Amino acid sequence: MSLSLYSNYRQRQLEALLEISRALTSRLDLPSLLRTILGYAAEMVRAEVGYVALTTSQHTLRLTTGYGLPSDVFHALAPYLAQKSPAGEFWTETELRRQLKIVAETTGLALEQVVALPLVLADEEIVGGIFLFRSGSVAFTPGDRSLLRDFADQAAIAVRNARQMEQLREEKARVEAVIENSPNGVMILDPQLRIIVINRALARITGFTQSEARGRPCREVLNLQNISGDHLCLNEQVPPPTGVWYGEGDIIRPGHKRITVGITYSPLFDRHGSLINIIVTVTDITRYREAEELKSTFISVISHELKTPVSLIKGYASTLTRRDAEWDADMVAEIGQVIEEESDRLNHLINNLLDASRLQAGAFKLELDDISLRNLASTVIERFQTQTDRHTFVLDIPPDLPLVRADARRIRQVLDNLFSNAIKYAPDGGEIRVSARVENNHVVVAVQDQGVGIPYEEQNSVFDRFYRVDSSLRRSTQGVGLGLYLVRAIVKAHGGDVWLQSLPGAGSTFYFSLPLTPPTSSHHETMENPATPPRSQS
């Protein structure tokens, strides 16, 4: 090669390498980069055919890019390379000659020379190879090799970059999937407290869609009330946190249940200590809060309700046993009666509590029989009528009402609770009517009073455990808010339902339904707290 030819050649090589590094930095995708590199490399050593094969995760080779390679050659070569590992022996002359043969035969070209260079990363990992073939008897020289080494290095860099990009993409997709599918609410804020990312769970809690929430200040989306602890998403005046903050609050949306949330704010700083993001995780702690409230209600209600009868019993008992006093028989009888009534009340309360906890433990047994609701209601009325002269009981159940398959003791407990409420919450007296009719394969029983009624907004809650309507009557009547809870549980265990109608100030009607079963033999059966309650056959 003459000197001027050589310097032209050098010049072209430099241009090619420059072009390739430009392509590398302009972030062309890997296939185009490899095509460019391979094209220049082939041109520099005047090869007619060439290809790049990359190492797969199974340590074999995958034909990626071809130069002067018709597609049928591609198809002949690919399966061959797919069995090869780019380990040491792969680069031997014998192996390369084998490839040369395949390529020459399938292209039909008189290819005689082959040169191959592994693509090696800094840590010696072989990520693939460049293969070039040409015709004629002039073999590739060490000079060609050292020239091609530069191209192979560039290709290795392109592969490494592409791999890193792919890893980053995968990592990002993984993090996004974790955030998106987290059962806890998550959002990422910019330093101005605007929402950059919000996940599905948090969107659901706040009532915003993810796209509505994005870009908004977090205080608009996380509209908190009854707050405690440290909060960022309250107003712009809150200074950004320097460490992790925790706060709790309620999210109240019209027409939805109140949700109590615990919120952790974790700031993210860059290397220079500037705030870049704040990661906010929002956990629904409603159940824990409710359980806590329930516990404290339980303790205060129970201690109050137990205290009254116990102190009455104690007071009367010590009166009775005073040595300095003489009591006549009437007085003793009267005191004895109070003690008995108060003990009954204690007993009733304890039974209710036991039933409630049995219910929770899933150990609620029903002993089923064919029972007459009319007879049952009439017995209960008889007993209650002795306790009040302000209320009039009306039994409005037709004698031919079909029998229902139910636990007589439990249904009696239901009627007991409904009647005692009808009395308690109608302090001025009035009529208390119990009626029953058959409707859609069920018997529906109604207990109607002319009492104080229940405010509309509380009608859904009265069946909840320990729920008592907040009124002056609440303080003057005894009760712990378990009666209707047990009523509902018993009726549901029978496969029925409970509901109410009430006009505040005018009275309430409580309904319960029990499924009617076709008459069967009247043997006695026992049912363990049924997961699927007995259903009427329809």
CB of 206 to ligand ADP, least distance (A): 33
Instruction: Rank residues 206 and 450 by Cβ distance to ligand ADP and give the closer one.
Output: 450
CB of 347 to ligand ADP, least distance (A): 15
Q: Which tokens sit at 245? A: 């903050």
Q: Which of 483, 495, 496, 534 binds ligand ADP (CB under 6 A)?
A: 483
Residue the block writes with tokens 């950004």: 240
Q: Which of 419, 425, 511, 512 binds ligand ADP (CB under 6 A)?
A: 425
Cα angle at 470 between 449 and 297, to 5 degrees?
A: 115
Instruction: Rank residues 248 and 449 by Cβ distance to ligand ADP and give the closer one.
Output: 449
Sole window of 102-110, 178-186, 366-374, 447-455 interacting with ligand ADP (rule: CB under 6 A): 447-455
Burial 337-350 (b: 16+ CB within 10 A, else e): eebeebeebbebbe
Kindly give the pairing relationship between strand 391-396 and strand 430-439: parallel
Residues 6+ apart with CB under 8 A from 388: 423, 429
CB of 506 to ligand ADP, least distance (A): 11
Binding mask 454-473 for ligand ADP (x = CB under 6 A): x-------x----xxx----
Contact 218, 280 (CB under 8 A): yes
Between CA 37 and CA 42 the distance in angstroms is: 9
Instruction: Rank residues 451 and 496 by Cβ distance to ligand ADP and give the closer one.
Output: 451
| DSSP count for the chain of H helices, then E strands | 14, 18
CB of 375 to ligand ADP, least distance (A): 23
Contact 414, 371 (CB under 8 A): no
Sole window of 207-215, 217-225, 392-400, 475-483 interacting with ligand ADP (rule: CB under 6 A): 475-483
Binding mask 381-420 for ligand ADP (x = CB under 6 A): ------------------------------------x---
Contact 20, 105 (CB under 8 A): no
CB of 415 to ligand ADP, least distance (A): 13
Between CA 416 and CA 422 the distance in angstroms is: 10
Closest-by-Cβ residue to ligand ADP is 479
Q: Does 309 bind ligand ADP (CB under 6 A)?
A: no
Q: How many CA atoms does the CB half-sphere of 52 hold within 13 Å?
A: 29
Instruction: Rank residues 161 and 509 by Cβ distance to ligand ADP and give the closer one.
Output: 509
Contact 461, 467 (CB under 8 A): yes
Q: Does 64 bind ligand ADP (CB under 6 A)?
A: no
Sole window of 177-185, 289-297, 343-351, 474-482 interacting with ligand ADP (rule: CB under 6 A): 474-482
Q: Which tokens sit at 89? A: 């022996």
Q: Does 50 bind ligand ADP (CB under 6 A)?
A: no
Burial 373-395 (b: 16+ CB within 10 A, else e): bbebbeebbeebeeeeeebebee
Q: Which tokens sit at 95? A: 């192996």
Q: Count CB atoms within 10 A of the CB of residue 148.
A: 21
Binding mask 490-509 for ligand ADP (x = CB under 6 A): ------------------x-
Q: Which of 451, 495, 496, 515 binds ligand ADP (CB under 6 A)?
A: 451
CB of 373 to ligand ADP, least distance (A): 19
Count of chain residues binding ligand ADP (CB under 6 A): 22
Q: Count CB atoms within 10 A of the CB of residue 128.
A: 25
CB of 462 to ligand ADP, least distance (A): 4
**Helix, strand, or coil (residue 67):** strand
Instruction: Rank residues 115 and 484 by Cβ distance to ligand ADP and give the closer one.
Output: 484
Q: Which residues bind ligand ADP (CB under 6 A)?
A: 417, 421-422, 425, 449, 451-454, 462, 467-469, 474, 479-485, 508
